Amino acid sequence: MANTLLMPKATAVWLVDNTALSFEQIAQFCSLHPLEVKAIADGESAQGIKGMDPIITGQLSREEIARGEKDANYRLRLSDPKVRVPESKRRAPRYTPLSKRQDRPNAILWLVRNHPELKDAQISRLVGTTKSTIEQIRERRHWNAANLAPMDPVTLGLCSQIDLDIEVQRASAGKPAPAPSGETLLPASMTERLTPSLEKEKEEDKELDADAVFAKLSALKKKDDEEEE
């Protein structure tokens, strides 16, 4: 990994305030434009940024600054880092303890059934197995296929719930959402066709109710007449 300058603008602020380096030298060292360095010197830019001493951070030596101050054409160079950070190695397959290896086929069967979107490489990362074993379990060609029972790998302790969720999200990324199931609202075209018929039924109900009222009134009036006679 190449050595890079930390906080270039804060370093430029410190160099402007504490050295006699030219704007071009500071701009080259901090990967800034000379006009931006000039704006820092004029107080028009980076007003809220506190200067950072590159000597304290070990990125620039006093001797290097002195060389630059003596020669305006000199280009400052970063100091070699005192601590070498090793490059990250390729992640190895997950190690599965011997006590839990017998449960691994059951976990693979659970993943295959409950998360068919997962790729073989993802299942391999989760439970520490090989693609050939996954294929055998998926195609029921495993030597112990008849006795396998699907079991959650999180419950078995073969992987964490967070790792499982991450792999499922990766596998589902970019796939269309599932079609809605169950009852849904009727489209507007159907409701428009249903509206006249509903109104007609309401009108008929009103007519029937009126006839019933008039019939009841007539019966009461007839009864009163008979009692008077």
Query: What does the domain layout of the chain look like in residue ranges?
Result: 8-70, 98-172
123 burial (CB, 10 Å; 0-12 / 13-18 / 19+) is buried
Average pLDDT over residues 120-131: 89
Model confidence pLDDT, tens digit, residues 133-171: 999 998 889 888 888 899 888 888 888 888 888 888 888
pLDDT digits (tens, 9 = 90+) for 75-124: 999 887 665 545 545 444 555 555 556 788 999 999 999 999 999 999 98
Q: Which of 88, 91, 63 is nearest to 77 (CA)?
A: 63
pTM given for the model: 0.38
